[in-house]
Structure 1
Amino acid sequence: MNIKKIVLLTMAVVLMVSCNSGDKGELVGVKGKKWHPEKPYGMTLVPGGAFIMGKSDDDKAGVQDAPTKTATVRAFYMDETEITNSEYREFVYWVRDSILRLKLAEMADLEGKTPGNGDIGEFAYKDAGDPANMTPYESYMINTYGDDQRKINNDPELYFDTADYPDELYAEVMDGMYIPLEESYNGQRTWDVTQFKFQYTTMDIQRAAKDRSLKRSDVINQEEVEIYPDTTAWIRDFAYSYNEPMHNDYFWHDAYGDYPVVGVSWKQANAFCQWRTLKKNSYQKTKGKQPVNKFRLPSEAEWEYAARGGLQGATYPWGGPYAHNDRGCFMANFKPLRGDYAADQALYTVEAKSYEPNDFNLYNMAGNVSEWVHGSYDPASYEYASTINPNVNDADNQRKVVRGGSWKDVAYFLQVSSRDYEYADSARSYIGFRTVQDYMGTEVTLNAIGN
């Protein structure tokens, strides 16, 4: 068969497919799944728009790090509250249980245990005992890339009560998850939280876009982060101060479940965002739905825009210029009146959904806890940052921006334009975070002409 006949045959096949598709030979595009935007639980939609970013009043502190400029941001979803202890504990438990299941699977594999006997074998790898349990794809991946591709079994319930342990091998694995017996305190053994490490992979798209000579492997970063909050921050942050009750109870006790998590570093906050994305997209996959945009920390511009709640030139999320209303009630949780922590009816943090929200329905955008954002602190960054979706995050600059002020700060740091920073690996008893997710589409804007 010559080339001419092959070409004619190919054209005939293409035309036949086109005729059978119902498009009458017209260019109609690939039809994907029907998609509708879905507001994430606990988040509010912040419409995109332009605003005056920076200090609109005199810079009384003389920092000169936030000159005014017009900035425009795209629409995004933002958590209505700071991430709470209860929400962060879900992350911690997920990591703990995943590590525990992996160790149980490894022990079952080492001892040749398989499901069906009511012992540790119930937690064996999915492919254990019967290769027929694997799909051809799973079999290929394991044979090609090794045991790292084996799937742990998430079906059986984990046992935490020692009376329920199915056998001694299970007890041995559990024993290794706790601190050594000789280090137990008051007869209580606690989890060895240094084992709670979350591993994830990121791609440095900014670097890849700027240097096209790089290979894909050059911009893939493997991360491993210990994710348990540093509860000792309550003691280290305040010398000669009695804060042991907060150290002992604040993170794990249900009494503080709805309070903002603290003692979390910038790196841990980013790890939480990665896990939250993984959690949601795992669910989306089981339902045959498209994946959602990743959860992440807000940029400085997004945070300030959201904190202003649509108010141009305001000092605080509620407007201002004062930190109290016309009845003399304080509008946020901070340190007023020359250091009277109790004047605002709170000595430390308050519940994440406290005080009145701003006009975007966001709570505590001023006070309670300062919040990590996805930006590095440079006093001059406003001078050179873009005016559309401005964001300055230098991987070599470990000074990461925190915004909003906290329960231990004076009113100046509560201003929506005030900037502060902490080092990325530091954890403080007054710094938490909230997450955002990009909105797909461009039609949601706050100050569009005609609105």
Structure 2
Amino acid sequence: MSSCSLFKKKGGGSGERSATTGWEYNNPDNGGFEYKSGYEQAAGPGLVYVQGGTFTMGRVEQDVMFNWNNTPRRVTVASFYMDETEVRNVDWREYLHWIERVYPDDKKEFQKALPDTLVWREELSYNEPYLENYLRHPAFSDYPVVGVSWVQASNYCKWRTDRVNEQILIDNGILTLDAAQQGQEVFTTESYYAGLYKGVDGKSPIEDLSKESGNRRVKQSDGILLPRYRLPTEAEWEFAALGLQGNTKGELLTERRIYPWNGHHLRYGNDDKKNRGKIRANFTRSRGDLMGLAGHLNDGFDITGPVTQVGSNDLGLYGMAGNVNEWVYDVYRPLSSMDVSEFQPIRGNVYTQYRKDADGNLQRDEHGRLVKDTVANYVNFNDGDYQSRIILGDDWTTTDNKKKGSNSMYPGDPAGNVKPRIDDHVRVYKGGSWKDRPYWLSPGSRRYTNENSSTDDIGFRCAMTHLGDPDNIDN
């Protein structure tokens, strides 16, 4: 990382001075306060930069499902990074390999990360070959991983953050690769920042300018380690899928999009003579046609396909329509578009803080991760408080309230045994898949399922926040 070159050795400062005190930065003779200007964030492995902006989020075509759950609304998203492709089977196998190596005696942790290969099993379909081969056979290495739940995808993002940041420290000589780390003494970004991960010093440690001698660990203010990988928000995903930057003239949007490309056609047109006539995405065309006629296949794949099988959108992102649906961060609510903020809209904020013992020390679990406690949960914001209740009072089953309409919220179930399909554990997924019709390829469409469920047509990709000036990126 170029940031390391900004550290000065003892015997002189950087030449820059504080505008408020006049003291020289990075000078060990006056206390060694360190400051580095001109920060440029480097893209993490696999990521593509997406400059933020305003756009109309929501439905762009007829609501044929009559869900009325994605009313168009203008919002703004900040700049961020998005994976160029969906996470592949080979990426997930690397994840499993690491868990098995670092936690050899923790079979539960390994089992928790395994995709559910049984998602391929269907009563009246011969899908056993995919159940047996899809995850591990090299023929499918570059295909998107499926059978992973929202919870598993989120855990993968955390693991990826730590592995990328650990490698950055190793590449810069600050740490030495410790292949023997196990259990609680495993590198995590948070435990390293907190001083709980010791590790093995590298050949180029950072000198501590505030002391006569000695080195120090990397701090957040150094800008060396990257922000965390995470699932994209629904707004970020939709913004990136549309890729409208190619359809602007100044601040004028010249053409809205139904799909991640211009026009309503599902094949390449005359604007791309090399691919003219080819299908633009992996989806199901009409009833029972998943791949086309033998000798003239349309998308070329019976199930999923390699993550770069078709061209990218204007941002360089592959597979933003078809192949597999993709998890996003948001908790599902039908009327989210009417509730969420105009800037960085999201549904599902849960605020946490680090757990400390009686002496104020941070606590770690058996896997080296800092333990967090929830201090505020806004998943249910305005879902049932006094401001949003249709009826008055605490009990909707009272005699007075029954007179307002039906005798029960769920007719035929006065005891309340029927559970709603929408609760705090349902998450949004988007993008359409190999088994979906074209309607679901539109970035404005949205569906939901339980965060612990998995299917043969839902995968995911990671995102990362961009820090600072939207134009200040390290190419």
How would you bin the TM-score normalised by the shorter chain?
0.5 to 0.7
Runs of 5+ consecutive residues of structure 2 not aligned to the other structure: 1-12, 26-32, 175-217, 219-223, 248-254, 270-275, 293-298, 349-378, 381-422
Q: Cα gap change, 1:321/1:195 in structure 2, threshold over 3 Å: closer, same or farther?
A: same
Contact 2:54–2:76 at 8 Å: present in 1 too?
Answer: yes
Tell me how far 1:22 sits from its aligned partner. Answer: 7.4
| Secondary structure of the corresponding residue to residue 96 of structure 1 | helix
The structure where helix makes up a greater share of residues is: 1
What is the match of residue 55 of structure 2? 51
Of 265, 268, 291, the match for 1:322: 265
Distance 1:317 1:99 in 2: 41
Q: Could you tell me which residue of structure 2 aligns to residue 38 of structure 1?
A: 42
Pair 1:245 & 2:123 matched: no
CA drift at 1:80: 0.5
Percentage identity across aligned positions? 36
**Residue 314 and residue 23 in structure 1: after superposition, are their counterparts in 2 closer, same or farther (change >3 A)?**
closer
Q: Output the CA distance in 1 between the equivalents of 2:109 and 2:470.
A: 45
Give the SS at the match of 2:291. helix
Residue identity opposite 2:467 in structure 1: M
Structure 1 position 285, deviation (Å): 3.4
CA contact (8 A) 1:366 1:406 kept: yes
1:263 equivalent among 142, 147, 155: 147
- For residue 255 of structure 1, what is the amino acid of its counterpart? A
TM-score (normalizing by structure 2): 0.61
Gap regions ≥5 residues in structure 1: 1-17, 104-176, 178-192, 198-225, 446-451
Q: Does 1:196 align with 2:223?
A: no
| Aligned twin of 1:170 | none
Q: Secondary structure at the match of 1:350?
A: coil
Partner AA of 2:129 in structure 1: P
Residue 120 (structure 2) aligns with: 234
Following the alignment from structure 1 to structure 2, what is the Cα–Cα distance between the partners of residues 399 and 417? 18
Contact kept, 8 Å, 2:324 with 2:458, in 1: the verdict is yes
Contact 1:76/1:436 (8 A) holds in 2? yes
Are 1:291 and 2:225 counterparts? yes
Secondary structure at the counterpart of residue 42 of structure 2: coil
Aligned to 2:239: 305
Deviation at 1:421, TM superposition (A): 1.0
Matched residue type, 2:34 = K
- Cα offset for 1:21? 11
Q: Is the CA contact (8 Å cut-off) linking 2:426 and 2:450 kept in structure 1?
A: yes
Q: TM-score of the superposition, structure 1-length normalised?
A: 0.64
RMSD of aligned Cα (Å): 2.4
Structure 2 residue 464 is matched with structure 1 residue 437 = yes
SS of aligned partner of 2:55? strand
CA shift in 2, pair 1:23/1:306, >3 Å: closer
Corresponding position of 2:66? 62
Cross-structure match for 1:411: 438
Matching residue's letter, 1:42: G
Q: 1:195 to 1:38 in 2, by over 3 A?
A: closer
1:382 is aligned with what amino acid? S
Bigger Rg over Cα:
1
Contact conserved, 2:44 with 2:164, CA < 8 A, in 1?
Answer: no
Distance in 1 separating the partners of 2:59 and 2:16: 59
Moved over 6 A (4+): 20-24
CA contact (8 A) 1:309 1:317 kept: yes
Q: Aligned equivalents of 1:240 and 1:399: distance in 2?
A: 28
CA drift at 1:325: 2.9
Tell me how far 1:60 sits from its aligned partner: 2.5
1:365 aligns with 2:368: no
In structure 2, how many angstroms separate the alpha carbons of the residues matched to 1:58 and 1:28?
Answer: 62
Please name the residue that 2:448 is paired with: 421
Asked if the contact 1:317/1:365 (under 8 Å) is kept, the reply is: yes
Q: Partner amino acid for 1:322?
A: H
Q: How many residues align?
A: 307
Instruction: Assess if the C-alpha contact under 8 Å between 1:298 and 1:435 holds in 2.
Output: yes
The separation in 2 between residues aligned to 1:339 and 1:432, in whole angstroms, is 22
